[in-house]
């Protein structure tokens, strides 16, 4: 499952911009299956943790109103090229994944 | 007596299995507490109240909410929030969604006052950005016109 995250970070001076894409259905639990009429159970990411060199920078708490295949971008100060940025997500079914990238 | 305790045991374990199956046993232990009551609140004020402890907020022109004027597809509405305030948290709320709170971002010391993501919107409404700075809440709004709703079918 390690392929569910794409993460890219770029340093400009002291400021680092991190952009990431996660592959996830983000099912709200309100949608119905068109063929059977049954509700599709909710399945969405609840928490995303973003770290820089092991230190948490941003903790995101999400509800089902975040779009499918979520995009997340944030900025922080004090990073430089070569540093590690890491993203970890957990969804409401207990699944999780994480990925790490180097700042460019 | 034995039979009774046996029945009790199976009942308890099956209840647990049902709870796990329904997704009631969330992975709360893995990361910090997920504010469930804030995400199930039906109104903007309730959501703010249970997320931040208060719904008192001050409209601020120091917060910039970037979102499209017209979103053709309500399932994917890009929203960016930028603020020069020293923010400790930024929440994004879609006012007329069934549960308005879409996302909350807790920012640590080195994080800048900027987040960008994509949210779903049921219909045309204001997107509200709530910025927590120095223990106070500041808000800014941006109206987004939605032509096709993005919640449910």
| B137 in a structural domain | yes
Convert the pLDDT of each residue in B21-65 to its tens digit: 444 444 444 445 788 888 888 888 888 988 988 889 999 999 999
| B152 in a structural domain | no
Domain interval for residue B86: 35-146
What is the predicted pLDDT for the residue at B88?
A: 93
| B111 in a structural domain | yes
Å between A57 CA and nearest CA of chain B: 5
- Do the Cβ atoms of B31 and A74 come within 8 Å? no
Domain of B59, CATH number, reads 2.60.40.2470
B54 with B108, same domain? yes
**Span B5-23, mean pLDDT?**
52
B106 with B39, same domain? yes
Of B54, B34, B153, B43, the C-alpha closest to B97 is B43
How many Å apart are CA B105 and CA B36, to the nearest integer?
15
Nearest residue of A to residue B119, measured between CA atoms: A66
B47 with B27, same domain? no
Does pLDDT of A21 surpass 50?
yes
Of B31, B76, B98, the CB nearest to A49: B31
**Span A22-42, mean pLDDT?**
85
Token pair belonging to A55 = 């230190």
**Span B75-97, mean pLDDT?**
92
Give the β-pairing of B70-73 and B136-148. Answer: parallel
B93 with B42, same domain? yes
What is the predicted pLDDT for the residue at A39?
A: 84
What is the predicted pLDDT for the residue at B9?
A: 56
B84 with B136, same domain? yes
Phi and psi angles of residue B57, each rounded to the nearest 5 degrees, phi first:
-145, 160
B25 with B57, same domain? no
> Are B45 and B55 within 8 A, CB to CB?
yes
How many Å apart are CA B137 and CA A96, to the nearest integer?
31
Convert the pLDDT of each residue in A43-80 to its tens digit: 999 999 999 998 999 999 999 999 999 999 999 999 88
Å between A83 CA and nearest CA of chain B: 14
| B151 in a structural domain | no
Domain annotation for chain A: domains and CATH numbers: 5-29+40-102 (2.60.40.10)
How many domains does chain B contain in total? Answer: 2
Of B23, B94, B105, the CB nearest to A60: B105
B15 with B39, same domain? no
pTM equals 0.81
């Amino acid at each position: 499952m390690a392929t569910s995250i794409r993460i890219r970070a770029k340093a400009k001076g002291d400021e680092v911009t991190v952009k990431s894409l996660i592959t996830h259905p983000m099912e709200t639990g309100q949608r119905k299956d068109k063929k059977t009429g049954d509700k599709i159970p909710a399945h969405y990411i609840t928490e995303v943790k973003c770290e820089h060199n092991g230190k948490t920078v941003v903790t995101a708490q999400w509800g089902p109103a975040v779009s499918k295949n979520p995009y997340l971008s944030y900025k922080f100060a004090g990073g430089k090229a070569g540093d590690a940025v890491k993203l970890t997500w957990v969804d409401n079914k207990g699944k999780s994944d994480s990925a790490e990238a180097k700042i460019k | 007596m034995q039979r009774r305790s046996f029945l009790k045991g199976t009942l308890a374990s099956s209840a647990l299995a049902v709870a796990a199956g329904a997704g009631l046993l969330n992975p709360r232990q893995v990361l910090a507490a997920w504010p469930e009551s804030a995400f199930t609140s039906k109104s903007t004020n309730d959501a703010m109240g249970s997320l931040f402890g208060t719904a008192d907020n001050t409209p601020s022109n120091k917060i910039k909410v970037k979102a499209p004027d017209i979103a053709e597809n309500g399932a994917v509405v890009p929203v960016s929030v930028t603020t020069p305030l020293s923010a400790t948290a930024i929440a994004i709320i879609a006012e007329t969604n069934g549960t308005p709170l879409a996302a909350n971002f807790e920012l640590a010391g080195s994080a800048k006052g900027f987040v960008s993501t994509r949210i779903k919107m049921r219909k045309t409404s204001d997107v509200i950005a709530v910025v927590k700075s120095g223990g106070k809440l500041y808000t800014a709004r941006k109206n987004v016109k939605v032509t096709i709703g993005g919640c449910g079918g």
